Amino acid sequence: MGLDFSVVPKYLDIILLGCAYTVGITVAAAVLSFFGGIVFAVIALYAPWIIRQPFRLVAWMFMGTPLLLQLFLIYFGLVQVGIDLPAVVAGIIGLGLHFAVYNSELIQTAILSVDKGQMEAARTLGLSRGEALRKVVIPQAVRDVIPPISNNMIALLKDSALVSVIGVSELTLSAQRVIGKTYRPFEFYLLAAAFYYVINLGMEWVQRKIERRISMSR
Amino acid sequence: MTDEKSFVEIRHAQKAFGSLEVLKDISLSVAQGQIVGIIGSSGSGKSTLLRAINDLDPLTGGEVWLDGVQVNQKLPHRQYEKHINQMRQQVGMVFQHFNLFPHMTARENVKMAPMMLKGLSQEEANALAEEQLDHVGLLERIDYYPSQLSGGQKQRVAIARALAMKPKLMLFDEATSALDPELVEEVNQVMRKLAEQHMTMIIVTHEMDFAASVCDRVLFMDQGVVVEEGPPAILFTNPTQPRTREFLRKHLEGAK
């Protein structure tokens, strides 16, 4: 049979739509995981015991169980308590929270490694601890974790294929559907792989741009 | 207040880490406009005393008063936080390692606190930053990041940042100790200028010449107590205590 890419153009629109879903879900989940990571880190480090302990349990759940299970829980499980989320939203929340917990670990370490003198200088000017964290410590911590967080975001992109199990026609599922019609698995899986690669390149480009912007202010 | 003229008043300051006493019953009173130098070897407690004044290192006993208000008064946590933030706005502090905010330009370093805490508008804050950085001779570096400045320039920005809050009192914690020798003078000049403007200052320093030329009074601290104090002309040339003499002799040898 051999490889024959001549069937590709006919189904390209389906693949491209899947691509758009993958990009959209990834970007939305990445943003959620970034800001969620900051919030989680602050809770883990500074919240009173009564908030910190239950939060730890939730964080452990997100780190210690498969993402697949978490997606099932959010999409199928929550319906039972009356929360019926659209699959895309459930996917974004699942991916976002899952990676927020990972990002939070990185951000916590970074916050703790910001020089103590920074907090002192801010407090000396009269800022409260919260104000000092927000304006002085966290911005510096976040700068330090851009590279490792970027790695997490690449992992997030790859794991976004998992939301296909709750029926979101993202890139991988779109490829599968086209293959169901054409019986051309090799061509369309390769095509999907190529698209993932291109999205990857785009993410690396964004990362470099952010890093260049902050390289001055170290 | 025991003394009408006293602007900063430290009464029976004590600080202990477990059984280690860092400050042993220190009392000190500083009049408005006065410049007090604190000298002593490392571990003598001089930095701890300075940092107790704005409660950065809380005392375990004793009181600190600034302009008629007790700094370290006992209050419930939330009220105390509010109170101490209020007090700290009135006390500028300059650190040995500058502690500039590296993610902000010189301008942003200077204007952040006044904007957040005094509600200055962008324009007002910018004008203030320009004025303060001009004051320390760094107007042309206003939009530089700390990483683009020399140590002396960083310290001058740090002084401008503290002055932008219009403090009543300035604390200097070995402000020139981390600088290359050739950069010390530019920072000293800024401090001299402040002295001329009658800013009340407490200066922890290793530089005896500078202390002698600027301070109205110098304290020598050793092992958590003030061993001797007096006008620099007397303390440096004719100390009465053997420990002071010993310290000054060693310091002179070290300088050679």
pLDDT above 50 (res B1): no
**Element (DSSP H or E) covering residue B13:** strand B6-17
Is B225 exposed, middle or buried, given 0-12, 13-18 or 19+ CB atoms closer than 10 A?
middle
pLDDT at B2: 46
Per-residue pLDDT tens digits for B38-83: 999 888 999 999 999 999 999 999 999 999 999 999 999 999 999 9
pLDDT at A37: 95
CB–CB contact B101 A121 (8 Å): yes
Q: How far is CA A26 from the centre of its chain?
A: 6
| Closest CA in chain A for residue B171 | A124
| DSSP code per residue over B126-171 | HHHHHHHHHHTT-GGGTT--GGGS-HHHHHHHHHHHHHTT--SEEE
pLDDT at B232: 93
- Give the residue from B192, B189, B169 showing the smallest Cα distance to B94: B169
Q: How confident is the model at residue B251 (pLDDT cuts 50, 70, 90)?
A: confident
CB–CB contact A126 B88 (8 Å): yes
Separation in Å, CA of A118 to nearest CA in chain B: 6
- Residues in A touching B97 (Cβ below 8 Å): 117
Of A127, A129, A216, the CB nearest to B116: A127
Of A117, A143, A214, the CB nearest to B99: A117
Strand arrangement, sheet containing B20-31: B20-31, B6-17, B61-66, B69-70
Selected residue of A46, A111, A119, A125 to mutate for chain B interface (largest B Cβ count, 10 A): A125
What mean pLDDT is reported for chain B?
92
Instruction: For the beta carbon of residue B123, count every other beta carbon within 10 angstroms.
Output: 8
pLDDT above 60 (res B208): yes
Average pLDDT over residues B197-209: 93
CB–CB contact A115 B101 (8 Å): no
- Residues in B touching A135 (Cβ below 8 Å): 112, 116
Per-residue pLDDT tens digits for B225-242: 999 999 999 999 999 999
pLDDT at A5: 85
| Closest CA in chain A for residue B87 | A126
CA angle at B209 for the pair B203 and B211, rounded to the nearest 5°? 20
Pick left, alpha or beta for residue A2 (phi over 0 → left; psi -120 to 50 → alpha; otherwise beta). Answer: left
pLDDT at A1: 60
Per-residue pLDDT tens digits for B3-32: 456 899 999 999 998 888 999 999 999 999
- Give the residue from B97, B14, B102, B94 showing the smallest Cα distance to B59: B14
Average pLDDT over residues B154-177: 96
CB–CB contact B116 A217 (8 Å): no
CB–CB contact A117 B117 (8 Å): no
Beta-ladder partners of B209: none
pTM of the model: 0.87
Structural domains of chain A, with CATH: 7-217 (1.10.3720.10)
Residue A169 is classified by DSSP as -
Structure tokens at A203: 């993410």
CB B170 within 8 A of CB B162: yes
CA distance A63 to A108: 15
**Element (DSSP H or E) covering residue A51:** helix A49-64
From first to last of its 218 residues, chain A has per-residue pLDDT tens of 678 888 888 999 999 999 999 999 999 999 999 999 999 999 999 999 999 999 989 899 898 999 999 999 999 999 999 999 999 999 999 999 999 999 999 999 999 999 999 999 999 999 999 999 999 999 999 988 999 999 999 999 999 999 999 999 999 999 999 999 999 999 999 999 999 999 999 999 999 998 888 776 65
CB A125 within 8 A of CB A102: no
Exposure b/e, B32-48, CB count within 10 A at least 16 = b? eebbbbbbbeeebbbbb
| Closest CA in chain B for residue A129 | B81
- Residues in A touching B113 (Cβ below 8 Å): 122, 125-127
Per-residue pLDDT tens digits for A153-169: 999 999 999 999 999 99
CB B103 within 8 A of CB A139: yes
